[in-house]
Amino acid sequence: MKKILNTGLIGFGNSGQTFFAPFIEADPGFKLAKISTSNSGRAQLAASIYPNAAVVSSADEIIGDPDIDFVLIGSPNTSHFEWAKKALLAGKHVLVEKPFTVTSAEADELIALAEKQNLILSVHHNRRFDSGHNTVKKVLNSGQLGTLVEMEVHYDRYRLNLRPEAWREKPLPGSGTFYDLGAHLIDSTLDLLGKPTEITCFLITQRPGGLKVEDNFELILWYPGLKVTLKGGMLVKEAGPVYTIYGYNGTFIKYGMDVQEEALKAGHTPNEPGWGIEPEKIWGHITYDKDGKTITEIIPSEPGRYQDLFSNVREAILGENELIVKPEQARTTIRIIELAIESSLTKKTVVYRD
């Protein structure tokens, strides 16, 4: 395999513009060769930002191109399975935007196909590479909290007005806040703690205006002796802590989201100095007792490095490293989403089952 991977990007909406193209462009191991979008305005934008990439109107023009080695799928959730399957059948390595697929059965089919084709298949769970996640991992690995008893993680936004043009707010398979933001929180928790034993979920629609999908979720993952609550809402004007973790020995609290997304939307690139470094005002802290006194210790945030996801996939394609975000793990996220929807509909806690 050649060292520079000719890359095709399917879709130039938020995922393509913000989370895919800038990292491919910044990594010399990739060449952004083609971008597909059927939206004329986005096509003009893509051509202006990436003049060395051919902009085409159909994803088939990427999948059918024999010079393309690697395909990024940033299209709506309903088409992830279709384009990933076509790309794998065409002999392309694939990175799919999260959520991996709409159903676990679709995920199983893609995993089996990638194995049969001897191709790398991964999912864009970039939140494993953000400051908060890796700071929490550092704290848990330190053992300072002792045995964990409870963890709560939020992914909140404030967006009162509905967006009629947004497919995520239409009653389509894989739409809604839970598939969008919940998938991040579930994957991160699985990376930290593994599979839960039971699942309880509440999916709610809160905003006025006739929204047909949920815009608020509360998911409880049960582990032996540990309760993990994952929450997301679209009416959170003033956010509380993003992470709250309780253990026998102390508590960890952290405010503030990873800074990379806002930096990307502001036009910054991941090869700039200081990339992914959080301001000290949103560093977390641990509070614990020592020698009869209550101590509060500031925990510096780990830098966020979304670029490491892309470089890892490239190294896996070249046979130089093991894949970090494995499709089997992303499939478990989809399975938990399915079981969570079952829990919400039946108003019952359900046992985790593959």
Peptide bond into 76 cis (omega under 30): no
Measured distance CA(286)–CA(145) in Å, rounded: 8
pLDDT category at 59 given cuts 50, 70, 90 is: very high
Starting at the edge strand found earlier in the chain, the sheet holding 54-56 runs 54-56, 30-36, 5-10, 70-73, 93-97, 121-124
Note whether 85 and 157 are same-domain residues: no
| Average pLDDT, integer, range 142-149 | 96
| HSE-CB for 271 with a 13 A CA cutoff | 8
Measured distance CA(333)–CA(118) in Å, rounded: 23
Q: What angle do CA 69, 71, 72 make, to 5 degrees?
A: 150
Other beta carbons less than 10 A from residue 352's beta carbon: 15
Note whether 102 and 205 are same-domain residues: no
Whether residue 324 lies inside any domain: the answer is no
Note whether 289 and 241 are same-domain residues: yes
What residues have CB less than 8 Å from 180, skipping those under 6 apart? 99, 168
Output the six-digit token pair for 100.
Answer: 């991996």
Q: CATH number, domain at 43?
A: 3.40.50.720
Whether 320 shows a pLDDT value over 80: the answer reads: yes
**Domain total of the chain:** 2
pLDDT category at 188 given cuts 50, 70, 90 is: very high
DSSP for residue 308: H
Output the six-digit token pair for 180.
Answer: 């969008």
Measured distance CA(198)–CA(214) in Å, rounded: 22
Note whether 223 and 89 are same-domain residues: no
**pLDDT for the residue numbered 287:** 97
Whether residue 312 lies inside any domain: the answer is no
The closest of 112, 103, 114 to 81, measured between CA atoms, is 103
**pLDDT for the residue numbered 2:** 65
At 77, which amino acid appears? Answer: N
At 182, which amino acid appears? Answer: G
Among 124, 147, 166, residue at a domain's last position? 124
Note whether 106 and 146 are same-domain residues: no
Note whether 52 and 176 are same-domain residues: no
Among 90, 124, 158, residue at a domain's last position? 124
**pLDDT for the residue numbered 163:** 84
Whether residue 319 lies inside any domain: the answer is no
Among 78, 99, 124, residue at a domain's last position? 124
Measured distance CA(147)–CA(309) in Å, rounded: 30
Q: CATH number, domain at 147?
A: 3.30.360.10
Tell me: the pLDDT tens digits for 43-52?
A: 999 999 999 9
3-class state of residue 60 by DSSP: helix
At 112, which amino acid appears? Answer: A
Note whether 287 and 167 are same-domain residues: yes
What mean pLDDT value characterizes the chain? Answer: 96
Whether 122 shows a pLDDT value over 90: the answer reads: yes
Whether residue 102 lies inside any domain: the answer is yes
Which domain, by its residues, includes 46?
5-124
Contact criterion met (CB below 8 Å) for 228 and 193: yes
pLDDT category at 291 given cuts 50, 70, 90 is: confident
At 350, which amino acid appears? Answer: V
The closest of 179, 192, 183 to 133, measured between CA atoms, is 192
Whether residue 325 lies inside any domain: the answer is no
Tell me: the pLDDT tens digits for 2-40?
A: 689 999 999 999 999 999 999 999 999 999 999 999 999
The closest of 80, 77, 45 to 59, measured between CA atoms, is 80
Measured distance CA(192)–CA(332) in Å, rounded: 14
Contact criterion met (CB below 8 Å) for 55 and 37: yes
Note whether 37 and 66 are same-domain residues: yes
What is the value of pTM for the model shown?
0.95
Contact criterion met (CB below 8 Å) for 333 and 99: yes
Tell me: the pLDDT tens digits for 296-308?
A: 999 999 999 999 9
Whether 167 shows a pLDDT value over 90: the answer reads: no
Note whether 147 and 188 are same-domain residues: yes
The better pLDDT of the pair 165, 11 is held by 11
Contact criterion met (CB below 8 Å) for 349 and 222: yes
Whether 171 shows a pLDDT value over 90: the answer reads: no
Note whether 221 and 152 are same-domain residues: yes
Q: With pLDDT > 70 as the criterion, what percentage of the chain qualifies?
A: 99
Q: Locate tokens 């032996």: which residue?
A: 224
Whether residue 53 lies inside any domain: the answer is yes
Contact criterion met (CB below 8 Å) for 56 and 9: no
**pLDDT for the residue numbered 95:** 98
Note whether 246 and 260 are same-domain residues: yes
| Average pLDDT, integer, range 243-257 | 97
Whether 154 shows a pLDDT value over 80: the answer reads: yes
| Average pLDDT, integer, range 199-220 | 94
**pLDDT for the residue numbered 165:** 78
Contact criterion met (CB below 8 Å) for 113 and 141: no
Output the six-digit token pair for 29.
Answer: 């191991």
Whether residue 322 lies inside any domain: the answer is no
Tell me: the pLDDT tens digits for 75-120?
A: 999 999 999 999 999 999 999 999 999 999 999 999 999 999 999 9
Note whether 76 and 200 are same-domain residues: no
**pLDDT for the residue numbered 1:** 54
Q: Locate tokens 């059948």: which residue?
A: 89
Q: Locate tokens 């191709």: which residue?
A: 119
Whether residue 275 lies inside any domain: the answer is yes
